[in-house]
Structure 1
Amino acid sequence: MQNPSLWARIEAFNKGRDPERLLLKYQAMQNDIFSFLRGTCHLFYQDWPQVSELNQAPLAWISGDQHLENFGSYKGDNRLSYFDLNDFDEAILAPCTWDLARFLCSLLVGAQTLGVEQAQALKLCEAFMSSYTYELTECKPRWIERSTATGMIRYLLKNLKRRSRVDLLNERTTIHHGERRLKLDGIKTLPINAEDKQRVIELIDRFAARQEKPEFFHVVDVARRIAGVGSLGLERYVIMIQGKGTDNHYLLDLKYQPGSALSPYVTNAQPLWQSEAERVVALQHRSQAISPAFLSVINEGKRSYVLRELMPQQDRLHLRHWNGKFQRLQKVVQIMGKLVAWQHIRTGGWKGSAIADEWQSFGQKSDWQQPLLDYALSYSRQVRLDWLSFKEDFGSNLPGASD
């Protein structure tokens, strides 16, 4: 039987998504190789070798889609600012090398976008692995907040402190006849039909009924949300709730969880979750020292959603601002290595993951590091070939394209 084409594999994975936002995803993937990598997490794991010494690594609760742009700042439920991993949609119990290989590949692919030379990219890979293994041997998970951050991350967190909720509201909403409404700009938001809007309102109303102050969560407005790359096209909404009044509304993000893209490829047993959203929320609570505000599960029959406070897109760390100063970039990558290690340690010994002794032993070994880097190098070249193939097939495979 002939193997399916690249386009067929991508199309099969994205089947059933909202066509309007799926087109935005495909356009982003066509325009930039790093966006292509972000949008094809499933290809990475479809291609991962079933037989490899790298699969003998300790089991970890991995984020699954570990890449340069899945780190960012946020305000925790204690209202303090943190920098940490921030995407757990694909989180699953798997060999820790899966996370590491995905990140190293993103470094090598992202280097092209950032204007980093190959030799420098390899040094960044070494910096990441050195930082990761050192933290494993220490086996003491910490966290990054404004008072402990340095360099580009400290600057990011200082900016976040200065931004108020009103700033975010003014950016994302308009005021008409004295009432705030979500801004429908086709960049961050799209209109929602009346039926879907009512369904979202009912979901939030059921959630609010279980809260101490239900009126706080009264829905003022709803729109379809545009965010990320990999999940574009899935059900996702931005919701403005009453909060404490017109200038003190809160914005929430509600995202459907279809399941981890890694599920078909893991061979070790997984816990039985009540829902996919429970998996994501449980892993985020475990993985982060402090979780974002309102992080919750909302179930609707067999479908489940993750609810969280909306965090501004500009509070992601934009690595392109390294401005040719390699040490700035190197320090950020070292911090990312620490954060990945801290996640693996913090979730260690939970529901089948490796315990502290195993993490310390793994951190002291070096025989796995070169094979891991070799694989990341090889696969980064495959990503480029796949991206060029995708670009070539993009126009002719779009809906409505002529035969």
Structure 2
Amino acid sequence: MTAQAVTPAMSRDERIAQGKAARARVPRSAHAGFVREEGSPAPLELLARQDEVRVPELVPIRYKRMAESPFAYYRGAALPMAHDLAPTPRTGFTAQACGDAHLANFGLFASPERRLVFDINDFDETLPGPWEWDVKRLAASLEVAARDNGFSARDRDRIVLEGVGGYRNAMREFAGRTALDVWYAHADVGSVRSLAAPILDSAGRKQFDRTVAKAKSRDNAASLVRFTATEDGTPRITSDPPRVVRVEDLAVEGFDPETLYGQLNEVLRAYRRTLEPERRALLDRYTLTDIARMIVGVGSVGTRCWMLMLLGGFEKDALFLQAKEASRSVLEEFAGKSEYANHGQRVIVGQRLMQTVSDIFLGWVRVPGIDGAERDFYVRQLRDGKGSVAIESLRPTAMATYGRLCGWTLARAHARSGDGVAIAAYLGSGPVFDHAVREFAVAYADQNELDHSALRAFITRKT
């Protein structure tokens, strides 16, 4: 499946007509509610399928993290939700979908111009697909997170409506812009602060400023301090198991450090060929000096992920890259296979479609693994101004503001690759769709709590 084509031959009026006609096929109210289809695979069965291609000793860590709360479970359950979303109503308009658009997968990072911007920041599951699926995953995440924070039903309703309404209003805004205007639209820290400041209380504004300050401090120089210690005059990555484990320390788990080091050197060489020539010239100023295995996120735990430390010609001149395994998207079974044979390329192309600006070191590679199986990876800078909101500390007003910002950002991403005019015409100017998706979010959060309880019971039986 590819994103919905918009051709110059199709007039704006025709695209609006298409969007409004979709209301007859799929009334906006049809998006309300959720009941899992009888005979659907159990979520634990689906999660176990993913375990088959993951590092066995890391799988228990994945489940431990998911069991911490209903929201933590939700973060790791993109595949079960994809199964649940597949039979729900869809308009037929597609866009480049994130595939895992929960509110913790948005955040700050540094643009190539060294300005902090706010955007979607996780694309492991990206694939062209129904735009509705991303909206519903975002909306349900707001409901689940608001419950975890102990908010009242009234506050939760407002938060979800702000998020979905933010998407709908932004899509209407983008429908009135030129294609170039949509492509260049972005939210930098200054514009986000201007939006949030009049709404947030003093505690919320202080939290926002702390998040920005922390993001600004997360660069390669800070990574050198955070992740290394000097040995014989040379910086070396320090093991901090299980999150960070040096290659040499993996030998006790059956790895041959020399073989692994050689394969990861090949990863770097093959990755280099996917960069633009001027970026290869920049990369060539650095030399790979150390490698460690990393554990990142919740849903990604168990996939192969490597920290690569490269050093330049000056003291504290370091470049930290992350090589992360990419497997097939959770959407693929329902939205069709990617046009890219390499899943690392699928991730990177999807990221560049959805983000206004992206890391200059994005690239991909396919290499044989230690077990002989070929594996796809994508590569990016490890920490380049990356910052995320502490969702568990948000108050209701702050979460509503954050949800609206996430909705705006998701709409902009969809408008870049799909037919924003038709989608906006379908959504309309009133809140019919917003209220329907709010009902979906409530029902899905109920189901998510049952699934989280089932996971906890499973872990108890295993132990």
Per the normalisation by structure 1, the TM-score is: 0.88
Shift in CA distance, 5/364, structure 1 to aligned 2, threshold 3 Å: closer
Asked if the contact 1:17/1:234 (under 8 Å) is kept, the reply is yes
Structure 1 residue aligned with 2:64: 27
Q: Which amino acid aligns with 1:283?
A: G
Structure 2 residue aligned with 1:37: 74
Q: Higher mean Cα deviation, 38-47 or 12-21?
A: 12-21
Asked if the contact 2:305/2:324 (under 8 Å) is kept, the reply is yes
Structure 2 residue aligned with 1:81: 116
3-state DSSP class of the match of 2:192? coil
Asked if the contact 2:145/2:392 (under 8 Å) is kept, the reply is no
Q: Does 1:383 align with 2:420?
A: no
Q: If you compute each CA radius of gyration, which structure gives the higher value, 1 or 2?
A: 2
Runs (5+) with no aligned partner, structure 2 = 1-37, 197-206, 248-254, 369-373
The 5 A counterparts of 1:333-372 are 333-348=403-418, 355-364=419-428, 366-372=431-437
Number of aligned pairs?
386
- Which whole-Å CA distance do the structure 2 matches of 1:345 and 1:24 have between them? 37
Shift in CA distance, 244/381, structure 1 to aligned 2, threshold 3 Å: farther
Asked if the contact 2:110/2:385 (under 8 Å) is kept, the reply is no
Q: Which amino acid aligns with 2:110?
A: K
Structure 1 residue aligned with 2:98: 63
Shift in CA distance, 392/164, structure 1 to aligned 2, threshold 3 Å: closer
Shift in CA distance, 341/165, structure 1 to aligned 2, threshold 3 Å: same
Structure 2 residue aligned with 1:299: 366
3-state DSSP class of the match of 1:247? coil
- Which whole-Å CA distance do the structure 1 matches of 2:284 and 2:424 have between them? 49
Q: Higher mean Cα deviation, 16-25 or 190-199?
A: 190-199
Q: Does 1:178 align with 2:233?
A: yes
Per the normalisation by structure 2, the TM-score is: 0.77
Q: Does 1:318 align with 2:413?
A: no
Structure 1 residue aligned with 2:351: 284
Deviation of 1:101 after TM superposition, in Å, equals 0.8
Structure 1 residue aligned with 2:170: 135
- Which whole-Å CA distance do the structure 2 matches of 1:136 and 1:391 have between them? 39
Q: Aligned to 2:144, which of 100, 109, 119?
A: 109
Q: Which amino acid aligns with 1:359?
A: I
Q: Does 1:125 align with 2:197?
A: no
Higher relative contact order (CA 8 A, sep 6+): 2
Asked if the contact 1:57/1:96 (under 8 Å) is kept, the reply is no
- Which whole-Å CA distance do the structure 2 matches of 1:157 and 1:198 have between them? 38
Q: Which amino acid aligns with 1:256?
A: E
Say what the alpha-carbon RMSD is for the aligned residues.
Answer: 2.4
- Which whole-Å CA distance do the structure 2 matches of 1:208 and 1:9 have between them? 35
Deviation of 1:359 after TM superposition, in Å, equals 2.9
Q: Aligned to 2:460, which of 371, 395, 398?
A: 395
Structure 1 residue aligned with 2:48: 11
Asked if the contact 1:60/1:96 (under 8 Å) is kept, the reply is yes
Overall identity of the aligned pairs, in %:
21
Deviation of 1:92 after TM superposition, in Å, equals 1.4
Structure 2 residue aligned with 1:351: none
3-state DSSP class of the match of 1:293? coil
Structure 1 residue aligned with 2:318: 249
Q: Which amino acid aligns with 1:100?
A: V
Q: Higher mean Cα deviation, 150-159 or 25-34?
A: 150-159
Deviation of 1:234 after TM superposition, in Å, equals 0.6
Asked if the contact 1:136/1:362 (under 8 Å) is kept, the reply is no
Deviation of 1:10 after TM superposition, in Å, equals 2.0
Deviation of 1:6 after TM superposition, in Å, equals 4.2
Asked if the contact 1:297/1:305 (under 8 Å) is kept, the reply is yes
Q: Aligned to 1:258, which of 327, 343, 350?
A: 327
Structure 2 residue aligned with 1:47: 84
Structure 1 residue aligned with 2:187: 144
- Which whole-Å CA distance do the structure 2 matches of 1:255 and 1:164 have between them? 19
- Which whole-Å CA distance do the structure 2 matches of 1:144 and 1:155 have between them? 18
- Which whole-Å CA distance do the structure 1 matches of 2:358 and 2:53 have between them? 31
3-state DSSP class of the match of 2:329? coil
Q: Higher mean Cα deviation, 358-367 or 76-85?
A: 358-367
Asked if the contact 1:131/1:337 (under 8 Å) is kept, the reply is yes
Q: Aligned to 1:308, which of 380, 394, 397?
A: 380
